[in-house]
């Protein structure tokens, strides 16, 4: 009986350990990365104080492009409450394609370049798209590997819940009368 209970709990434990292994807070993502325009900044600086979605992508990745296309209208609608950051892992040979692609699509969210995939590997990324969702306090809330049409709806649910939670914790406490 104990063996069966252990076997049933094992998948949940594996997920928890996996999340804990990549649970670097947003503030620790302070590595300076260049934007396609050459400006240097960090994921931590861009996301400070906001619910933040960090999505690693590449110009050669079709699911990445689909995710970004789905996220653009969501970012526009929620940009006062969330930060969506697309981090390209295109290498030095293909990163010249990033700026023209972003411009051609009319994307308005921040894009950073990680040409050696250093930040990507630090966060235990293995495939793209690889998306991390951070709460407004900078703690890692969840991560997603891959993208299928409709996955953005789950992301919207997650960030909406986090925005609501952040708003509740920022609201002044009601005074007892």
Residue 115's domain comprises 24-162
- Domain assignment present for residue 8? The answer is no
Show Cβ contacts of residue 126 under 8 Å, excluding neighbours closer than 6 positions.
145
Q: Is 39 helix (H, G, I), strand (E, B) or coil?
A: coil
- Domain assignment present for residue 14? The answer is no
- Domain assignment present for residue 17? The answer is no
Q: What angle do CA 78, 124, 15 make, to 5 degrees?
A: 80
pLDDT confidence of residue 17: 41
- Domain assignment present for residue 82? The answer is yes
pLDDT confidence of residue 169: 78
pLDDT confidence of residue 168: 86
pLDDT confidence of residue 21: 43
pTM: 0.83
- Domain assignment present for residue 103? The answer is yes
> Which residue shows structure tokens 């594996």?
14
CATH number of the domain residue 34 falls in: 3.40.30.10
SS3 content of the chain, % helix, strand, coil (to 5): 45, 20, 35
- Domain assignment present for residue 44? The answer is yes
- Domain assignment present for residue 132? The answer is yes
Looking at the structure of the chain, the number of domains it has is: 1
Torsion sign across C-alpha atoms 118, 121, 126, 130: negative
Q: Please state the separation of Cα 36 from the chain's center in Å.
A: 18
CA distance 31 to 156: 27
CA distance 120 to 45: 17
- Domain assignment present for residue 167? The answer is no
Show Cβ contacts of residue 88 under 8 Å, excluding neighbours closer than 6 positions.
56, 57, 58, 59, 95, 98, 111, 112, 113, 114, 115
Q: What is the pLDDT along the chain (177 residues), one digit of tens a residue?
A: 555 544 444 444 444 444 444 479 999 999 999 999 999 999 999 999 999 999 999 999 999 999 999 999 999 999 999 999 999 999 999 999 999 999 999 999 999 999 999 999 999 999 999 999 999 999 999 999 999 999 999 999 999 999 999 988 766 555 555
pLDDT confidence of residue 7: 45
């Amino acid at each position: 009986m104990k063996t069966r209970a252990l076997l049933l709990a094992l998948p949940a434990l594996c997920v928890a350990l996996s999340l804990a292994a990549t649970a670097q807070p947003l503030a620790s993502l302070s590595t300076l990365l260049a934007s396609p325009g050459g400006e240097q900044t960090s994921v931590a600086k861009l996301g400070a104080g906001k619910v933040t979605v960090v999505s690693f992508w590449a110009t050669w990745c079709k699911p990445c492009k689909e995710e970004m296309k789905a996220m653009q209208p969501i970012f526009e609608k929620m940009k006062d409450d969330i930060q969506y950051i697309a981090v390209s892992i295109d290498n030095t040979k293909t990163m010249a394609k990033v700026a023209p692609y972003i411009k051609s699509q009319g994307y308005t969210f921040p894009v950073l370049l990680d040409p050696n995939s250093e930040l990507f590997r630090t966060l235990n990324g293995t495939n793209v798209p690889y998306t991390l969702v951070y709460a407004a306090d900078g703690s890692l809330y969840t991560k997603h590997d891959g993208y299928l049409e409709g996955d953005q709806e789950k992301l919207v649910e997650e960030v909406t819940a986090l925005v609501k939670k952040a708003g509740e914790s920022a609201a002044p406490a009601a005074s007892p009368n």
